[in-house]
Structures are given as structure tokens and as C-alpha cells.
Structure 1
């Protein structure tokens, strides 16, 4: 696949989805999955602090729901997203999506199926429903 076709294909980390004001490329599935894995492990560790010596079980999901909603809704990135230089922005304005849409998006991620299915514009269904997109983070200004 040529560099030009890779750049124009949103599902391969090409330009942001149609209608997205950002000039940043959409995030690849691999980077998104790695960020999710980091967040999942961190949430399991936090839940484990409260349930020790027993395993955290379903408490991990509750910690993930609360933490992910707060981080993405208010700051546009979770710890895993920050580590992998990703941001979750609103499609309409490129800003953090707020708590309600972040909660909806997080619930759909927990269901897993919407997070695996891709739309025609390269976004995942949980992002399409929540009106968000995950893009490569802007380089920090010094």
C-alpha cells in the first residue's frame, strides 16, 4: 500500500473522519487497543487495592466506567491514551466530549462489539454514536 493511499484511508491512521475539523490523523486500531489495555490493567490494579486479598472481579469494570468517563469526558484522554499520544475529541468542535457523551462511549466500549465494528468513515461505532473521534495527540508546545 502506498504512502498516499495509507494517508487517505482513515481506518489505517489516515486523515480524520469526514466532518471532523481536526487536521490530525485518526488513530490506528493497534494504538487504540494498546491504550485500552493500559487503561484496563490500571483500573484492575486500582480495584485490586480495594478488594485485596480477593481478586477485583467486577469491581474492575466499575472503576473503568468511572475513571474512563471522567478522564475522557473532561480531559479528552485516559492515562493509556496519554501514554500512546491519543485524544478523544468531539466531531463537531474538536474539544473534549463532556461527561454524558463520555459515559455513553464508555458503556459502549464495555459492551465491546461497538468498539470492534468500523463505520464507512473509519471511526468505530462507539465513537460514531457518541459523536467523537480518536486522533493522534497534538505535539506539545514548548
Structure 2
């Protein structure tokens, strides 16, 4: 049964059942972790920078897999990310935090119309300063 679950990832892990997890790529480990997190049928899925250490193609793969898993298992998901594009593309609600405080929240149609530039403008309007995190801006 585990082999069939691995096959749903479409990355060939079902053929590497005897491989040590430490020898898998970062993307393969993230995909495996994502799949394993659903085995217990959780009520909520917590994702903390789950694509941050991946190259762009693997990050895209994991992002797509995340969307599929969340939809398939109808999971409520809380994702923490510094990647502004990812924050815009995924989910139905966006909460921006700075220094431990919620400074901006948006959902629905208003979220769909947002761009990175608009988010940066909101940050500057609210905080009176430009965002300093290049990783978030360039993500």
C-alpha cells in the first residue's frame, strides 16, 4: 500500500523503497514528508517554509504536490513562507506579519487581485518603511 502512495507523487520514489532517506534529494525528502504527514489523517497541516531550501524546479514540484494533497484530503493548512508569490498563489487567505505582529490580512477576491508590488506597497504604507528581506521580495 505504501508503494502505491509513493507512486502518486510521480517522482519515482516507489522504485526506491530501500533507499536511505538521507540519500534522497531535498525535494524527494519534502515530498515524502508531505505524504507521510497525511497518513494520520490530520485535521490541520502545518507547513513551515517547506520549499525554502529547494531549487526552483523542486520548489514548484513540492508546491504543486502540496496543492494536490491539501485538495485530496480536504486539509485545513497553515503555511508559513517568505516567498511572496507562493503566498499569493496558494490558499484563500493571506496574513502578513512583521516583528511578530499581524499587519495585513486579505482574502477572497481582494487577495486574487494582489501582486507582489501591491504587497510591498501595503507593507510600506503600514510600516512606513520598505521591506528589508530580499528573500521575500525575490522569492
TM interval, short-chain normalised: under 0.3
TM-score, reference length from structure 2:
0.23
Tell me which of the two structures has the higher relative contact order, counting C-alpha pairs closer than 8 angstroms and 6 or more residues apart. 1
Q: Which protein has the larger Cα radius of gyration, Structure 1 or Structure 2?
A: 2
Structure holding more helix per residue: 1
